[in-house]
Structure 1
Amino acid sequence: MLEEALTVLAAAGGTAVVQAAGTDMWTGLRQALARWFGRGDEQRQRGELERLDRSAEELRTAQAADTERVRIRQEAAWQTRIADLLESLDDNERAQAAEELRALLSQYKPEGGVSADRGGAAFVGRTEISAHTGGIAAGAISGGARTGTPSEPDPYQG
């Protein structure tokens, strides 16, 4: 069983795959992850490239009603693959692989902003949405969401 920090790292890897698929970051992340999984084995690296391509295709072709389910399934699948690889290594190899994965993921981390497709919108960073009429609907919220007219800042806030 992996320690909590490595489980979180594996989850971040799964999330990165899903977030990067279909974006400008995909090609670089795809290559880097395949090399990481391959651990120097070209055949294994090619196999991972094929798996990553299948995941990206499944995410790209998901019907609107299925998008969130497909995203969740793909994220969980890649989290499990990453955790399984880490778990299969001895302590020294695991520490090195974890550090390599952290460095890899930091290179392909979204800086912030908004991305949207037919399946919804993703907001990275602090985001406030105000609506005078209507509302918003979200499939997944990490960190909280608030709708409505923003309140006046406290005079002490500046």
Structure 2
Amino acid sequence: MLVETLTALAAAGGTAVVQAAGTDAWTGFRQAVARWFGRGDAQRERVELERLDQTAVALEAADPTQVDRVRISSEAAWHARIEAALERLDEPEREQAADQLQTLLVDHVPGVAVTAGQGGVATHGNLDIRAEQGSIAAAVIQGDAQIGPHPASAPPQD
């Protein structure tokens, strides 16, 4: 499986953990994530449940002025944990774990579907694509899109 695909999947997983924390979906989602990490090891699963709970508590307890920082930090931490877990596996196990994670995300977090073909990058959220000095950039867009200069860099309209 391509590194870009695994990275996108890990990023989606990190985002999903943070988005699900404190919602009605949290209980089932945290169990599924802990089972995914545990891969049959009950002790490892308990450790992951504790980590997931720590994330939920940190997000809930965050001062309103710090909630964005805590959210971004938590997403990055879970992204890194998921990516590291995938990297530790041999290729057949990695593909199986990636498929299981993809299914877990689709089943437990509405609106999450991250897929990409060979050489592709998929994201759930914003993606900035640029082409400079005669390069070509292409994208398949599902949903709302703005094509053209970034609004902050667009010349003022008269």
SS in 2 for 1:24: coil
SS in 2 for 1:36: helix
Q: TM-score, normalised by structure 1?
A: 0.69
Match of 1:107 in 2: 107
CA separation of 1:111 and 1:89: change in aligned 2, threshold 3 A = closer
Match of 2:62 in 1: 62
Match of 1:74 in 2: 74
Deviation per residue, 1:56-110 (Å, 9 max, x gap): 0000000000000000000000000000000000000000000000000001223
SS in 2 for 1:12: helix
Match of 1:155 in 2: none
CA contact (8 A) 1:34 1:49 kept: yes
Map 1:44-63 onto structure 2 (within 5 A): 44-63=44-63
Q: CA RMSD in A?
A: 2.3
Quick one: higher RCO (CA 8 Å, sep 6+), 1 or 2?
A: 2
The 1-side partners of 2:65 and 2:103 are apart by 35
Number of matched pairs: 117
Match of 1:96 in 2: 96
Match of 1:24 in 2: 24
Q: TM-score, normalised by structure 2?
A: 0.69
Displaced runs of 4 or more, over 4 A: none
Letter aligned with residue 66 of structure 1: Q
Unaligned 5+ runs, structure 2:
113-123, 126-143, 152-158
CA contact (8 A) 1:16 1:109 kept: yes
The answer to which structure has the higher strand fraction is 1
Quote how far apart the aligned CAs of 1:111 are.
4.5
CA contact (8 A) 1:16 1:108 kept: no
Letter aligned with residue 56 of structure 1: A
CA separation of 1:104 and 1:80: change in aligned 2, threshold 3 A = same
Identity %: 60
Unaligned 5+ runs, structure 1:
113-123, 126-141, 147-158
